[in-house]
Structure 1
């Protein structure tokens, strides 16, 4: 009897194991063959849960289209499916689909990013807002960083002062790691204009953001020692500082208003962006919550210094590697400088006359491709060129695949600013140029970034000369990085 029960138990265990194996095989089959009411684009969903995430994050020492995308474009064509950090995603290098994604915001698509990325930028960040709320927050930012505000405010003078003082300091040093130096310069300027921070607190906040950026585009594994863990700890530290600053300003405003009135309050504070935020969250019926305000300031600080510093570092390296382009850029700025009357700083008219500079900036950000992907989510089943994008799936528009397409940009890896000559539509974004996004969600800080880059290049080429000392290697991971930095020596020349 005992032997019979043992055999019976063995059979039961075998049947259970077989059932588990069949369930596992079924789950793998379902993962690799998602349900769809039509025909899915070609591609692979990779491993269960992990998908093709590990390949997506694999580094590559090149400015070319990331290997992950390049290999799949060669195999599947301009539209393919994959799975990233647990989400089914359709990747698009098709200009018509990209255009539709940007133009059909709110109808067929909505802004979306994988959960791990949302955790990094905050659940209430502006990218997560939809419809009227997104437009409200966007208009808030444009009131301060839009072209009209930049022209009318002291922003140009403040940028000029930050650039000239930084370059003067760097010229006294034996060597400068440009990426970190430019990041510091841009961050301190942005922190001052956003929050009116004193240098000591700005330094603390800057360190938190540097920690945050190091793990920004990394595999989302929240364990001590990982880049993602460092990123989230950096975010936590930064948010604590921002929370303190917000509460202090609210108390300060309450005290001043009680004793002096709102007009005197506005006069005493410099009119920074935080003042605008305080006005919004202290309204009788506020639309913006404290959490939304904090996430908004966090994203603005991140975007203003991270993207601009990367683009400027790459621009300086590209100019050093292409002396003819540097010579033409120098001629433009020397002409502006010599025509200037007196010792006054750069005027708005001079800034807008920097035509070749604008071409250099556009060509730099085209090659930089700082955003490796722009994400949206399908709101309904969408049929396009015989394929179906199921409702709820992510869509990743891939700027590098467009910016480095030889059909659109001949010799795409060659630094050639004149390819943007006589293309004014580029400044507003187009099907072929999406360095600053596209559609309703084009970058609200684009004008501020271009202003900083233009003024920096003006002072650099008219007053200084520099030489490369080491580093400068670029890596995609999949975002742009300078793993060894870019070390230069800079000296005052004129």
Structure 2
């Protein structure tokens, strides 16, 4: 009997000790020199508040994980995700400050699952996320091949031809799950411009593999056969092995093709020390990933929203038919011009409104390189902590956008520029603002132009749309396309 009593006392003391440790060291971590942390909760040991974060919310509104904590703690709060301390900021002034401090107070950061997929280990001279000369080179070469000048000269008519070919194929099918189909369309076009990928002859189905990769990244990171994450890693390996062979063949070719992005990088390997085979492979892999997911989500969400807002669809359609009827056009069926793209005022409003409502990710991730004092708030973010710049919270804030969950493209006519500059950053900000932002907008405008002037479409079924906290489409948005 006394031994059982002793065991009960020991168990009670152990529970008391663990509870005390959790409260003292985990729930309320202490910092050196009396540093005060942002308000918030660290959740459970090791797990943190991860489970609350990944619970789906079937609304376009801000995910409840972020929304309820802003209401409870303010616009900057601390939490823990997958055992890592994170500070979430929905404060526009602080967010602008953070993105401007790239390479000084913060660096770009990926959670562990993303780091493994995108191979962001290594020193600053070999990572594709590096700052300084490496970042300037990456940004420069991206703008050379996908920036405004290239769009004006060659890419715009090529986009139109590719979209038309794709929509013709879609119109022969009973229905199309449009997010997946749009991701394949955009990925194949971008890959062709990056390294002359030919979807019809390549043994690797990039669209299918990238779709499985994104699904795996949003799953629990358990690397055992049969799990989505294990499949994700296998697909990543297949794609990078294919890219490695492409780089090897290009380097060994007596006549190097320099017309695409890969050709220029291979040619530059003699003068840029950081341009190794691995660097090029992971840069191309990451660039394709960054582009295809956001564009396909906008296409799917926009078609879903337009199907429920006929007045917006009517004005959008009228804008594109007006372009065809302009006297400046020698031939109504000729390719779009740069001036015509720039004149698509309402189309760009629709795209902006869709991006505002449907930011794929809840925010941008940075890691503090030094302690960051937030003097006006009276607390400090310790070095090594992750900072999530929650742009989605700003874009869905009723103080910035009236009736924020309402699809209202017309709101963009009256928005003050300073409101947009501070609170609308779908393509990031600072030195890390996406170099392919204009490229993505042009592709989207071209897609809507071809669709609305040459095809008809009807939404068959779709949804439910969710956040967990990234944007999800349930079983997909299914649409029937036909030629006019």
**Other-structure match for 2:481:** 490
1:90-105 to structure 2, matched below 5 A, reads 90-105=87-102
**Other-structure match for 2:17:** 22
CA distance in 2, matches of 1:35, 1:132: 38
* Distance of aligned partners of 1:240 and 1:425 in 2 relative to their CA distance in 1, 3 Å threshold: farther
Aligned with residue 409 of structure 1, among 383, 401, 410: 401
CA distance in 2, matches of 1:277, 1:121: 19
Q: Once the 2 structures are TM-superposed, how far is the Cα of residue 119 of structure 1 from its aligned partner?
A: 1.1
Task: Confirm or deny: 8 A CA contact 1:109 1:379 kept in the other structure.
Answer: yes
Matching of residue 420 in structure 1 with residue 412 in structure 2: yes
CA distance in 2, matches of 1:311, 1:479: 13
Residue 356 of structure 1: SS of its match in structure 2?
A: helix
**Other-structure match for 2:150:** 149
CA distance in 2, matches of 1:92, 1:127: 25
Unaligned residue ranges in structure 2 (runs of 5+): none
**Other-structure match for 1:244:** 245
* Distance of aligned partners of 1:111 and 1:79 in 2 relative to their CA distance in 1, 3 Å threshold: same
CA RMSD of aligned residues (A): 2.6
Between stretches 134-143 and 224-233, larger displacement belongs to: 224-233
Residue 202 of structure 2: SS of its match in structure 1?
A: helix
* Distance of aligned partners of 1:412 and 1:301 in 2 relative to their CA distance in 1, 3 Å threshold: same
Task: Confirm or deny: 8 A CA contact 2:141 2:261 kept in the other structure.
Answer: no
Q: Once the 2 structures are TM-superposed, how far is the Cα of residue 317 of structure 1 from its aligned partner?
A: 1.3
TM-score, normalised relative to structure 1: 0.89
* Distance of aligned partners of 1:418 and 1:93 in 2 relative to their CA distance in 1, 3 Å threshold: same
**Other-structure match for 1:465:** 456
Aligned with residue 48 of structure 1, among 45, 51, 54: 45
Q: Once the 2 structures are TM-superposed, how far is the Cα of residue 127 of structure 1 from its aligned partner?
A: 5.9
Q: Once the 2 structures are TM-superposed, how far is the Cα of residue 19 of structure 1 from its aligned partner?
A: 7.3
Residue 181 of structure 1: SS of its match in structure 2?
A: helix
Aligned with residue 275 of structure 2, among 279, 284, 288: 288
* Distance of aligned partners of 1:41 and 1:132 in 2 relative to their CA distance in 1, 3 Å threshold: same
CA distance in 2, matches of 1:165, 1:233: 31
Aligned with residue 57 of structure 1, among 54, 57, 64: 54
**Other-structure match for 1:341:** 330
Aligned with residue 35 of structure 1, among 22, 30, 34: 30
- Which deviations, in whole Å up to 9, do the C-alpha atoms of 1:56-85 show, x marking residues without a partner? 122221111012111211211211100112
Task: Confirm or deny: 8 A CA contact 1:426 1:433 kept in the other structure.
Answer: no
Unaligned residue ranges in structure 1 (runs of 5+): 1-5, 257-264
Matching of residue 375 in structure 1 with residue 372 in structure 2: no
Between stretches 190-199 and 223-232, larger displacement belongs to: 223-232
CA distance in 1, matches of 2:370, 2:176: 51
Aligned with residue 398 of structure 1, among 380, 390, 396: 390
Matching of residue 307 in structure 1 with residue 291 in structure 2: no
CA distance in 1, matches of 2:336, 2:278: 38
CA distance in 1, matches of 2:345, 2:217: 34
CA distance in 1, matches of 2:411, 2:401: 8
- Which deviations, in whole Å up to 9, do the C-alpha atoms of 1:297-321 show, x marking residues without a partner? 0011112211111111111111111
Task: Confirm or deny: 8 A CA contact 1:126 1:137 kept in the other structure.
Answer: no
**Other-structure match for 1:138:** 139
CA distance in 1, matches of 2:25, 2:301: 44
CA distance in 2, matches of 1:277, 1:138: 12
**Other-structure match for 1:3:** none
Task: Confirm or deny: 8 A CA contact 1:474 1:481 kept in the other structure.
Answer: yes
CA distance in 2, matches of 1:233, 1:32: 37
Larger Rg, first or second structure (1 or 2) = 1
